[in-house]
Amino acid sequence: MNVGIYCDSGINGGHEEMLKRFMLALITSGNVQTLHILVPKSNAALHRYVSELARHNAKVRMVSLSYTAESIRGDLFALFRAIRSTAATLRTLQLSKLLIAQGTIVSGIAGLFAARYARVRALSYLPLVDDGPATESSTDKVKWLAKRVMYRMPDEFVTLNEHLRGKLRTLAPHARTMILENYVDDRFSRSMLTKSAARASLGLPDDGTTVIAHIGRINFKQKRQDFLLEAIERHPEAFKRTIVLIIGEGADAARLAAMVDASPTLTACVRIVGPKSDVLPYIVASDTLVLPSAFEGVPLVMIEAVLAERPIVVSRICGLDSYLPDALLFPAGDHDAFVERIFAARDVPMAALTSDFRRRFSREVFEAQAQNVMMPATPSRGAYDPASPQPSDLLAK
């Protein structure tokens, strides 16, 4: 097979990290003869990564894009130029299939439209699926109608779990839908680093102080670091002997810092750490991790935390209750329940859940699924399902 991967993202988040692992799985596949990877030149980290892959693997070809999704957003003329130039490139590559990395259905649309114009079979790698219009306003309803049309454009979808696949089957009933669950590096489950050693290396006290960590892109709309700060301010007594670490970078970093600086309660316990290339020591050093997101696919930090046998308290959203027990879930928007779960989480037994995650999110399982989803579809669209993981035995009990 002569296949392609298209990613026009200007950032390097969890979805881009999984895309890199997808690339590695396809390189090892005997069914893939040539792998063309289209990435933006201005995304320096991703471009450099793909360039190295091409340098060391004869089957990899890199195609540099002159734009990112962010650079053409809101500019119809730039979008049209991107679609036209990318479609022309796709025609010359003569691909069997093009995998398009889309965070949501409206991201990566230049690649989606280009594939349609070049008549290349399009497979959308989609971790987030809409539920409907954001509000009842006319503008949001019109946007939703446009999205409904876009959901009908890909020939196939790859998403992260049964919950998301069910939503896709409603929105795109004639498309083939498959599941590719994330995987995490073995070091999160095999590390010999102890909590005391991790705290010492990070300059954190090991005297009974509770350490809580939020790891992720600083984006209030999705990751809701502001909700975490609100919860602390509503329950200052609960956080008196606590350090809350916020690790990451993003568009709301300045707002986050301003909120902490303006509040003596927050200043006393919150430490804004910034981005870190290796989050393992922060996970191991923590008593509990938190992820009060408004929406998620399958967050890597959730898997990483559980593999390291650390509890993580998350919002009950987007099917995440199929991964974690009730004791680690709280109703999105409920500050009181959030705080209660945080300080009760240290008593949640993790060994069985960790064992289940090691099986479910292994590299071997991921690579087998990744190679299967790129195989040609059977004549009956929507019926073939080569990459459906087994449900968790632990949560089924």
Q: What domains are defined for the chain?
A: 2-183+363-377 (3.40.50.2000), 187-357 (3.40.50.2000)
Instruction: Determine the average pLDDT of the residues in 149-154.
Output: 96
What pLDDT score does 377 carry?
67
Q: Is residue 115 pLDDT above 50, yes or no?
A: yes
The C-alpha angle 180, 293, 20, rounded to 5 degrees, equals 35
Task: Among 72-76, 99-103, 157-161, 377-381, name the one with the lowest average pLDDT.
Answer: 377-381
Residue 395, pLDDT score? 52
The pLDDT tens digits for 340-386 are: 999 999 999 999 999 999 988 988 889 989 988 888 765 444 433 44
CB atoms closer than 10 angstroms to residue 42: 15
Give the C-alpha separation, 226 to 231, whole Å. Answer: 9
Average pLDDT over residues 295-321: 94
pLDDT surpassing 60 at residue 100: yes
pLDDT digits (tens, 9 = 90+) for 181-208: 988 888 898 899 999 999 999 999 999 9
pLDDT score of 313 more than 60: yes
CA distances from 10 to 17, 85, 130, 331 (A): 13, 18, 22, 32
User: By three-state DSSP, how is residue 215 classified?
Assistant: strand
Question: Does residue 298 register a pLDDT over 60?
Answer: yes
Does the structure show a pLDDT above 80 at 163?
yes
Look over the chain and give the mean of its residue pLDDT values, rounded to a whole number: 93
| 34-78 pLDDT, tens digit each | 999 999 999 999 999 999 999 999 999 999 999 999 999 999 999
DSSP state of 377: P
First to last CA, the chain: 42
Q: Is the pLDDT of residue 330 over 70?
A: yes
- The pLDDT, as a whole number, for residue 381 is 41
DSSP string, 235-249: -GGGGTTEEEEEE--
Residue 223's pLDDT band, with cuts at 50, 70 and 90, is very high
Write out the DSSP string of 23-56: HHHHHT-TT-SEEEEEEETT-HHHHHHHHHHHHH
Q: How far apart are CA 120 and CA 35, in angstroms?
A: 15
User: How long is the chain?
Assistant: 397
| pLDDT (0 to 100) of residue 117 | 96
Residue ranges in the chain assigned as alpha helix (H): 14-27, 44-56, 69-72, 76-93, 109-118, 138-151, 162-171, 187-190, 195-202, 225-234, 253-261, 264-269, 280-285, 300-307, 335-344, 351-360, 363-373, 393-396
d(CA 300, CA 14): 7
Dihedrals φ, ψ of 194, to 5°? -95, 165
- pLDDT of 297 higher than 90: no
